[in-house]
Amino acid sequence: MTAATTAEDLRARTRALLADRPPATTDRADFLRARFDAGLAWVHYPEGLGGLGAPRALQAVVDAELEAAGAPDNDPRRIGIGLGMAAPTILAHGTPEQKSRFLRPLWLGEEVWCQLFSEPGAGSDLAALGTRAVRDTAGDWTVTGQKVWTSSAHTARWAILLARTDPDVPKHRGITYFLCDMTAPGVEVRPLRQITGEAEFNEVFLTGVRIPDAHRLGEVGQGWEVARTTLMNERVSIGGMRMPREGGMIGPVAATWRARPELRTHDLHRRLLGLWVEAEVARLTADRLRQQLAAGQPGPEGSGTKLAFARLNQRISALEVELRAEEGLLYDDWTMRRPELVDFTGRDAGYRYLRAKGNSIEGGTSEVLLNIVAQRVLGLPADPRDDKDLPWKDLAR
């Protein structure tokens, strides 16, 4: 199919899949494989890679037909890093062999992905990263360094990895992008206990990890350009998620307000109404952003959406704790768990309040996102930088 594919074409193809693989009697994995092979996984991807080369906006047509039929999905929350970050980057910059090898098991959820970007000394200033990749005489790479704040590293099979391959050029120019096997010798994953008591994140140590050159994504030294594709998609996937009205953080607060009239005050009512309106504006803005995505790759607008998402979550969760008074301080699960998913709505108000603090760090700190919005959306001048043209090896650390 081509860009001329219509909604009716996709409905017919989806119904044919459902007739051939009735969800009630078909094994979940078999159904998902058949869906991918029919081009109905992500319809805007090319044929043979789970898509049909159709307009991205038509994915909603397929999803609606499958949901109405009770068809299984690919558990997108569990594999969100793969779907939202690794896949679009591999599609944009990968070789035909890389696309063929990685995209199908990624979408099926057979291989979980994580992101090895941030480091103890390179978080907000990601381009200052120091993990080193050295090429050997056979053309392959040996990687040594440390990464931090890595979601899903304890369950991941693969990772998207940034490493420095040339310390003698300015920091943005000496980085290369790799696909790293998390089961390779030299990869060590350690849990990071958070303020919630969980170990959702990890630190990852890479000691002489061998990566074949076939798992390099993009050209040597062009990793920053490749990483920008990942980062823009990451911010959209965090801040631009599709939600119903009163989805996300605002839902539990509104439900408590309706169910517990004894907790209400005039001031809390006024503040809750304001946050409800802001949450609805953010939801509709995210819908518009997804519509823009149908026309191409995400731009800097996703940074603004993610910035609003973080700030709003923190204000809503703080109001919820205040609304519940003494109850809001209760948090009954300090177990050292290592969850596969983050569940904001199925936990205590105290958990939501604590976990929301991370929203302004993950996917790019709010301070970095403010700079992106200022420079690339509003067109304001950039802050002066005296290290832009210095070789990485000469930077103060």
The mean pLDDT of the chain is: 89
366 confidence band (pLDDT: 50, 70, 90): confident
Distance, in Å, from the CA atom of 131 to the CA atom of 128, rounded to the nearest integer, reads 10
Checking if the pLDDT of 298 tops 80, the result is no
Q: Who contacts 142 (Cβ-Cβ below 8 Å, separation ≥6)? A: 133, 134, 136, 208, 209, 210, 211
- Cα torsion angle, 121, 160, 152, 288, sign: positive
Q: Catalytic site residues?
A: 234
CA 41 to chain CA centroid, Å, is 18
Q: Is the CB of residue 281 less than 8 Å from the CB of residue 239?
A: no
Distance, in Å, from the CA atom of 20 to the CA atom of 13, rounded to the nearest integer, reads 11
Long-range contacts of 292-296 (CB under 8 A, 24+ apart): 293/56, 293/236, 294/44, 294/55, 294/56, 294/57
Checking if the pLDDT of 296 tops 60, the result is no
Checking if the pLDDT of 188 tops 80, the result is yes
Checking if the pLDDT of 233 tops 80, the result is no
303 confidence band (pLDDT: 50, 70, 90): confident
Domains of the chain (ranges, CATH numbers): 7-68 (no CATH), 82-222 (2.40.110.10), 227-377 (1.20.140.10)
Average pLDDT of 352-378?
84
4 confidence band (pLDDT: 50, 70, 90): confident
Residue indicated by tokens 């952003």: 289
Between 82 and 125, the more confident residue is 82
Checking if the pLDDT of 183 tops 90, the result is yes
Candidates 81, 39, 73, 43; CA nearest to 238 is 81
